[in-house]
Amino acid sequence: MNTSLKLGVNVDHVATLRQARYRTMPEAHNVEPSVLEAARTALRAGAHSITIHLRADRRHIQDADVWELRKEPGLLMNLEMGNTPEIVAIALQVKPAFVCLVPEHREEVTTEGGLDVAGLRGSLEATVRALEANGTRVSLFIDPEAEQVRASAAIGASMVELHTGTFANETGEKRAEEARRLAEAAELAHGLGLQVNAGHGLTVANLKDLAGVPHLAELNIGHHLVSRAVTVGLEAAVKEMLAAMSNSLSPA
C-alpha cells in the first residue's frame, strides 16, 4: 500500500467537450462544461493536482482556462507544454507549481512519444533552468530510457514523468517487459535525485501491472477518468482511482 502516491487529474478532455460545441462562441452565457468546476470536483475527491496541456493549436485548453485555474486558491497546477517561445513566455507569467515539458506535434491525437532530452539538450536546458529559477518545478516527459533519464538530471529538471503509453497499449509479456523498463528507469532517476512521476493511458484496470515500478511519486491521468466520469461522475471516478492506487502500488 502506497499512501504517499499522488494523483494529478488531467482535465483537458473537459475542455475538449466544451470546444466541441462552443469553440466559436466562447463568451456565450450557456457555455459548458466548466473546466474549473471539474478541477474543483477532482480536488474535492482527493486529487493532489490538476494537469492541463496548453497546446500551440489551442484545441482544448485555452489561455483563459490557464488563468482561471491559476487564480483558484489551493489548486496546484501542472502545466503541460511544448518547448516553444510563445508557451514558455506564458508559463513564466503564470508561474504554475509544476510544468511538464512534452513533445508536441500538430497532427497527433495525443502526446505520442517522450521528449528526446538527450538530443534536444541545448534548447531544453535554457527552458528548464528559466522555469526552475522562476519558482516552477519542471518535469520532463520521457520514454523509460537510461540516456533520457541521465540527460534530464543533467539539465536541472526536478522530475521526470515516465511515459506509460506503451505499457498501457501492450498486454501480457510485452506489458510486463515494458513494466521492467519503467522500473529500471525509475530506479535510475531516483538514484540521480529526480522525482519519478508516470502517466499516459493509465486505468484502474492496468494499474496493478505497474506494481513493480519503484519510487513512483505521482501519476497523471486524464482520459480514463473523464471517460469513467461519463457514467459514474468525476468525483466517483477519482475516488475509484485513488483506491486502486493505494491498493495496487508499492511505496515510493
- Please give the positions annotated as active site: 53, 80, 200
Task: Using CB under 6 A, pick the residue from 80, 143, 145, 209 that binds ligand PXP.
Answer: 80
Nearer Cβ to ligand PXP (43/222): 222
Nearer Cβ to ligand PXP (94/143): 143
Phi, psi of 49 (to 5 degrees): -150, 170
> What is the nearest approach in angstroms of ligand PXP to the Cβ of residue 98?
11
Nearer Cβ to ligand PXP (25/232): 232
Contact between 114 and ligand PXP per CB under 6 A = no
Contact between 104 and ligand PXP per CB under 6 A = no
Contact between 10 and ligand PXP per CB under 6 A = yes
Q: Which amino acid is at 243?
A: A
Nearer Cβ to ligand PXP (127/220): 220
Among 36-44, 60-68, 219-227, 244-252, which window interacts with ligand PXP (CB under 6 A)?
Answer: 219-227
Task: Identify residues 150-169 at the interface with ligand PXP (CB under 6 A).
Answer: 161
Q: Give the per-residue SS3 of the chain.
A: CCCCCEEEEECHHHHHHHHHHHCCCCCCCCCCCCHHHHHHHHHHCCCCEEEEECCCCCCCCCHHHHHHHHCCCCCCEEEEECCCHHHHHHHHHHCCCEEEECCCCCCCCCCCCCCCCCCCHHHHHHHHHHHHHCCCEEEEEECCCHHHHHHHHHCCCCEEEEECHHHHHCCHHHHHHHHHHHHHHHHHHHHCCCEEEEECCCCCCCHHHHCCCCCEEEEEECHHHHHHHHHHCHHHHHHHHHHHHHHHCCCC
Build a one-symbol-per-residue string for 28-67: x at contacts with ligand PXP by CB under 6 A, - elsewhere: -------------------------x--------------
Contact between 228 and ligand PXP per CB under 6 A = no
Contact between 91 and ligand PXP per CB under 6 A = no
> What is the nearest approach in angstroms of ligand PXP to the Cβ of residue 29?
30
> What is the nearest approach in angstroms of ligand PXP to the Cβ of residue 185?
15
**Cell triple for 128:** 528548464
Nearer Cβ to ligand PXP (51/190): 51
Contact between 129 and ligand PXP per CB under 6 A = no
CA angle 213, 216, 222 (to 5 degrees): 105
Nearer Cβ to ligand PXP (27/200): 200
Within 8 A by CB and 6+ apart from 155, the residues are 117, 121, 124, 125, 128, 129
For binding to ligand PXP (CB under 6 A), which residues are involved?
Answer: 10, 12, 53, 80, 100, 102, 110-111, 141, 161, 199-202, 220-224
